[in-house]
Amino acid sequence: MTELTQMGHAQVFLKETRGLPYIEKSNATDVEMHFYRNIAPQLTMVGVHTPRLYHCDTKNHVLHLEYIPTPVTLEALHEDPRCFQQLAAIHHFSRHSDHPRCAHQWTEQHTIQARNHLQLSGNAEAHLHQLREQSEGLFYPHACLSGDSNAGNWGIRDNGDLVLFDWERFGEGSPAIDLAPLVKGMGDRMSYQAIADRYLAHSSLLPKQTLLRHLILAKAWIVVDVVNILKDRNKPDTETYLNWFRQVFPAWLKTHSSYL
């Protein structure tokens, strides 16, 4: 048994039964259990590959899921149109309003917590607050979202299928929330444009300039979210990540706040 737990609340283990490897996810959220039971089969019909559900124990909040054996690099995702095709299909999916979802938000309190963790200076803090004040459009229900589409949540089946897993953040908002994690590091203007262009080949939900604006806002929000999760859950290597953000985030804020 191998533990694979990363940033989420759930505990994730790679197990095996009768020679078949599978993922056991305990403390699974209502959102993710509902997703695998009800949403995933519908997404399969529109070309979105998710892990097969072997077992769902709703009483004890345990999922048994298909193990996706081969990881994918961020660079490989950039060059694979299936990545953007599947994200566009997710974003065009119509979710029933009564289905459970993760409520994405960026509050003032979240901003203050991240500021303190990152020890931001006055100018950087002002830029961050400026971005948050303009972020309301990120969370308007433009589209269904994976909510966590970073490269670590993609894999390849033995038959070559590109699969997106980890759906506890399934919700609604701007497509940019699913695209911003595909920008390497903090990214620059050209890298945001490249991601937008690849996505817009498959979707017309947002005009390019709106999508670019949302990408910048989403990247800043993800930093706030990740920093607070790292500290709140006392994740290993937290200080390594925080030190990296402290080095690059202030300059990024200064440059990219001027684009909005």
Q: Is a pLDDT exceeding 50 seen at residue 3?
A: no
Question: Which residue from 190, 185, 210 is spatially nearest to 200, judged by alpha carbons?
Answer: 210
- Whether residue 35 contacts residue 145, with contact meaning beta carbons closer than 8 Å, is answered with no
Among the listed ranges 8-12, 156-160, 202-206, which one has the minimum average pLDDT value? 8-12
- Stretch 183-194: mean pLDDT, rounded? 97
Task: Tell me the pLDDT tens digit for each residue of 57-114.
Answer: 999 999 999 999 999 999 999 999 999 999 999 999 987 777 789 999 999 999 999 9
User: What pTM, to 2 d.p., does this model score?
Assistant: 0.94
Q: Is a pLDDT exceeding 90 seen at residue 5?
A: no
- As a whole number of angstroms, the distance between CA 5 and CA 233 comes to 12
Sign of the alpha-carbon dihedral angle for 9, 14, 15, 16: positive
Residue 199: pLDDT band by 50, 70, 90 thresholds?
very high
Q: Is a pLDDT exceeding 80 seen at residue 7?
A: no
Average pLDDT along the chain: 94
Task: Tell me the pLDDT tens digit for each residue of 32-51.
Answer: 999 999 999 999 999 999 99
Q: Is a pLDDT exceeding 60 seen at residue 2?
A: no
Query: Which CATH fold would you assign to the domain 70-257?
Result: Aminoglycoside 3'-phosphotransferase; Chain: A, domain 2 (3.90.1200)
pLDDT of 95: 76
As a whole-number percent, the residues of the chain with pLDDT over 70 amount to: 97
- Stretch 240-255: mean pLDDT, rounded? 96
- As a whole number of angstroms, the distance between CA 160 and CA 34 comes to 26
Residue 140 CB neighbours (<10 A): 10
